[in-house]
Amino acid sequence: MDWRQRRDNTNVRLLLELAAELGVPARQCLANTGLQDRPFEELSSLQLWQELAVIRNLVAQHSQPGTGLRLGQRYHLTSLGLLGYTMLASRSLMDAIEITSQFRPLAMSICPVNLHPDKSGLWMVLDASVLPEDARCLVVERGMAAWKCVYSELLQRPFVPLAIEICVPSAGPAELYNAHFECAADMNAARNAMLIAWEDLHSALPLANAMTQRTCANLCQHLCDSLDDIQAPLARQVLQSLMSHSGRIHPARDVAGWLGLSERTLHRRLALEGHPFRQLDERVRRNLAERLLGDTTLGLDSIAQQLGYAEAASFSRAFKRWAGCSPDQWRRQRSTRPLSALAGALADMSYENRL
């Protein structure tokens, strides 16, 4: 596990919401995470170790079995952002699960998920061995309860697994899990797993839309690819921070502040990794510029504004330096389906859902 991997703040936000209901102060949940010194709303992303620390802090204050079940019920397709829309537009539940595996960096699970076919269906196995023992019960309960909620939304009907297996310290009695999942819970198992029937896996999803699914999947791939060739840990954090704060041109001192570093330290460590800050900054802006030019019909003034430039001329000069041609020339060379089609498809899906 790369515990320095960054995620958006969804998981921790939901943890803090549940903690408030349980009477556990946020300051106790955020202790020793480095997150307690600024308003949580300003934190667009954080590292996995910080989420794990919040989990352990909550468990230390409230270790009752079933807490993870309550947490998992808070998850919905919208919690998964673009990945959620991609799953919603998939042909079947099996396709949606495969999409989740394909774009695992965009999923919300904190530990690895493995798939094992069975004559009755598909086992989804949570590998909790990467977690300290005190965190395993909550994380496993949360993961399985979240699957139940999300798969019910995908199928547009209650989803009931064929069976579940629980193997964590401090787990509750079988009756707790039998009642929640409406199926038999094996408490003497050697793993943590959920069995999904083939009938459910191959059921056609009511809101399937092939065009929307392809377009969303392409965008998910774009998000994953944007980090693929950068392995240096600090450079990856800088890229993720810049992508999360697109819409303005941010100097190095801003990014250093988000990461809890001095500007001098940021430049020194990036130089050691071989990825100067300016190079990373221009990479993010160029990627976003090409996406807006290729996948939308926005004018140069609007694109310049979205990228943080004061005027289109400044953006055009920067783009020509990156690509060797003007934005208009680059756009003429491209012939891609506009994202307005995606917006229309999502609107149609939303309308159908309301019906």
Residue-wise pLDDT tens digits, 310-322 = 889 999 999 998 8
Strand order in the sheet with 113-117: 113-117, 121-126, 192-197, 163-165, 184-186
pLDDT in tens, 170-180: 999 999 999 99
Q: What does the H/E/C string look like for 88-142? A: HCCCEHHHHHHHHHHCHHHCCCCCCEEEEECCCEEEEEECHHHCCHHHHHHHHHH
Q: Cα(245)–Cα(238) distance, rounded to whole angstroms?
A: 11
Mutual orientation of helices 233-244 and 210-228 as an angle, nearest 10°?
140
CA trace torsion 165, 167, 170, 173 (10° rounding): 30
Tokens of 311: 């005027």
Asked if 89 and 212 touch (Cβ cutoff 8 Å), the reply is yes
Token pair of 244 as six digits: 């999360």
What is the spatial distance between Cα 214 and Cα 86, in angstroms, rounded to a whole number?
A: 8
**Nearest Cα residue to 62 out of 25, 113, 11, 106:** 25
Output the pTM of the full model.
0.68
Residues of 257-273 as b/e, b for ≥16 C-beta within 10 angstroms?
A: ebbebeeeebbebbeee
pLDDT in the model for residue 45: 72
Among residues 25, 24, 46, 49, the alpha carbon closest in space to that of 35 is found at 46
Cα angle value 195/98/169 (rounded, 5°): 45
CB 113 within 8 A of CB 125: yes
Residue 337 pLDDT: 44
pLDDT at 223: 63
**What is the structure's pLDDT at 335?**
54
3-class SS at 254? helix
The pLDDT of residue 348 is 54
Positions in the chain short of pLDDT 70: 1, 42, 44, 222-229, 244-247, 295-296, 335-355
**For residue 1, what pLDDT is reported?**
66
Query: How much is the pLDDT for 246?
Result: 63
Which pLDDT score, from 0 to 100, does residue 79 have?
85
Question: In whole angstroms, what separates CA 258 from the centre of its chain?
Answer: 19
